[in-house]
Structure 1
Amino acid sequence: MIRIIKKPTDTPDDNSTVMVADALKEKKAEFSYLNIDDIDPFSDEIENDIIWVCGIKQDGIQFEIINALNINNKVVNSPDSIATCASKAQTSARLIKAGVPTPETIFTNSKDRIREFIDIHKKAVYKPVYGYDGNGIYPFSSVEEIKEIPPYYIQEFVENNCDYRVFVIDGEAAGAIKRSSDSFAHNIHQGGTGVPVIDIPDEMADVASKAAHAINIDYCGVDLLPVNDSYTVLEVNGTPNWHCMGVPIPEYLAEYLIRTEKDY
């Protein structure tokens, strides 16, 4: 059985859960919804199922429940990969260890270390460790501009006028968009606009695939910046949206869930 945990941020105009559920219906796949708030994490009532987590609240409780569900079921995405993607520090650690190109990054409590980083790079980007949708991200050229409390996750500033999100399923690039805006952040939730990438360049697909493998995740959104003739990975999203992709991502996800159920 495929079970679905609904995305808490779904709206009538942007309902990721229903899109995939409708695709499952079209394929005659059996599924049901799980209300995560009604689940007893110490019960064995739910076993041997595929549980698709379209999204969870960042309240700690829901994450612990899907972690418990993962003991006797296969959760997609896995709790480990969702937790990794939620932490920019953990994501960077895995990308770097896997040799995936990513901007130079420091994670520190020390403003003196940030000052040394700025002396080298002249300009950097502050990002909340557990931020999402582009919230709280800003460029800076002086450590005095940082008002937040530690720890500090700091990346080198990469000059750009756009970025890309590549949707990866089972290690393969399934769709991509180019995002641009008149401001620093190109994220759709920060006012950016997206257009489909009709033919994903091999290098873009390869870097995105390597990022997904580094996180060991079933599907994800990999955010990239173009650098010379290649790309550098900004972050990996464990519960991504697929705005403007131009390809039927919900159908692809439904097919993946069906395949996973058969193989489980």
Structure 2
Amino acid sequence: MRRLAVTTSSETFARMRGPLAARGIEVGHLPAKEFALDLTRPPTEEFDVGFVYPSRMMEGGVIDARYDIPWVNTREDILASRNKGGVIAALSRADIPVPKTVAVSNPVEDDELVSAVESAGLDFPLVVKPNSTTRGVGIAKAHDVDSLLGIVDHQNLVHDFRATGDKSYLVQEWLPDARDYRIMLLDGEIVGGVERRLSDEARADGRWKHNVHRGADAVGIDVPDEHRELAKAVAETLGIRYLGVDLLESNGRLVVSETNARPTIDDAGKYEDGFFDALAALIERVAKNAA
């Protein structure tokens, strides 16, 4: 039986363990953060393959060197997907529709920022988001120049700390009344999709972020053809084997907002038939190719 290293002990670990065991793959937890580890002693466990490279790059480097296993999603995959600006640039170059976006690398003067926003044809309101955070952390909406510069002041304060690794952020167009989708792919093929919806009460309270970690519901859907083709084009362009593609649909436009190379495995009912068969086959192939 293959042994698969999974560095998270949360929902993904619990949901994949049984189905993969039934397909000859034992799932084991490999802690990749919050540890005190004697590096002069060999590991007490062995793994054939890793699922997704650890989210913390430094600890990931330690784990990777210690176990020397292939990963379904590699360090390069994680870094590429986490860089929201890099994804937008790569997809735009491939003629894949994305929101109008300005990337900012601090320090930048206020007038330079405002000029770049105007030159890009961006109108208020605007969305300001850190370039590499997840779960909607740090994303804000600016209604005018003053609120934009106020949000940027906060970004500048954070970026003043020398230890802050990522000193970039994005300014993007606001897509009104957007429907928010997460499309899941394995080896470039669609294996499931959800629409992330806010309750009527949340909308009435002025909330607009569709992240599940912020209270939105992920409802399984039959992925429409247009959404399927767009998501497949994203996976082909980025070359990432296990990928979540986030789409926004607004006023007849369908654009790619972000990607996620560490997507949570959701309830089985939100995937198409054969999802775990395809996942097991991918894990087996990665292990065999590295042997």
The answer on whether the counterparts of 1:66 and 1:75 sit within 8 Å (CA) in structure 2 is: no
**More divergent stretch after superposition (230-239 vs 89-98):** 89-98
Equivalent position of 2:164 in the other structure: none
Q: How does 1:1-264 map to 2 (within 5 A)?
A: 1-7=2-8, 10=10, 15-29=11-25, 32-36=28-32, 49-53=48-52, 56-58=54-56, 60-65=57-62, 68=65, 73-108=69-104, 109=106, 110=108, 111-119=110-118, 120-123=121-124, 124-141=126-143, 142=145, 143-146=148-151, 147-149=154-156, 151-181=168-198, 182=203, 183-198=207-222, 200-227=223-250, 229=252, 231-243=254-266, 246-247=270-271, 249-250=275-276, 252-264=278-290
User: In the TM superposition, what whole-angstrom CA distance separates every residue of 1:166-186 from its partner, at most 9, and x where no partner exists?
Assistant: 011111111111112222101
The answer on whether the counterparts of 1:48 and 1:74 sit within 8 Å (CA) in structure 2 is: no
Q: What is the CA distance between 1:23 and its match in structure 2?
A: 1.5
The answer on whether the counterparts of 2:8 and 2:31 sit within 8 Å (CA) in structure 1 is: no
CA separation in 2, counterparts of 1:134 and 1:73?
31
TM-score (norm 1): 0.82
Q: What is the CA distance between 1:215 and its match in structure 2?
A: 2.0
In structure 1, the gaps of 5 or more residues are none
CA separation in 2, counterparts of 1:19 and 1:251?
14
Aligned residues: 255
User: In the TM superposition, what whole-angstrom CA distance separates every residue of 1:121-155 from its partner, at most 9, and x where no partner exists?
Assistant: 22211111121111111111323331321533211
3-state SS in 2 of match to 1:148: helix
TM-score (norm 2): 0.75
In structure 2, the gaps of 5 or more residues are 160-167
The answer on whether the counterparts of 2:180 and 2:248 sit within 8 Å (CA) in structure 1 is: yes
CA separation in 2, counterparts of 1:208 and 1:187?
19
- For the aligned residue pairs, the C-alpha RMSD in angstroms reads 3.1
Amino acid paired to 1:89: G
Amino acid paired to 2:238: I
Q: What is the CA distance between 1:197 and its match in structure 2?
A: 1.0
Q: CA 1:101/1:87 → structure 2, altered by over 3 Å: closer, same or farther?
A: same
Amino acid paired to 2:215: G
CA separation in 2, counterparts of 1:251 and 1:21?
13
Q: CA 1:173/1:148 → structure 2, altered by over 3 Å: closer, same or farther?
A: same
CA separation in 1, counterparts of 2:232 and 2:254?
12
Q: What is the CA distance between 1:213 and its match in structure 2?
A: 2.1
CA separation in 1, counterparts of 2:47 and 2:95?
35
- Percent of residue pairs identical: 25
Q: What is the CA distance between 1:21 and its match in structure 2?
A: 2.2
Q: What is the CA distance between 1:76 and its match in structure 2?
A: 1.4
The answer on whether the counterparts of 2:186 and 2:242 sit within 8 Å (CA) in structure 1 is: yes
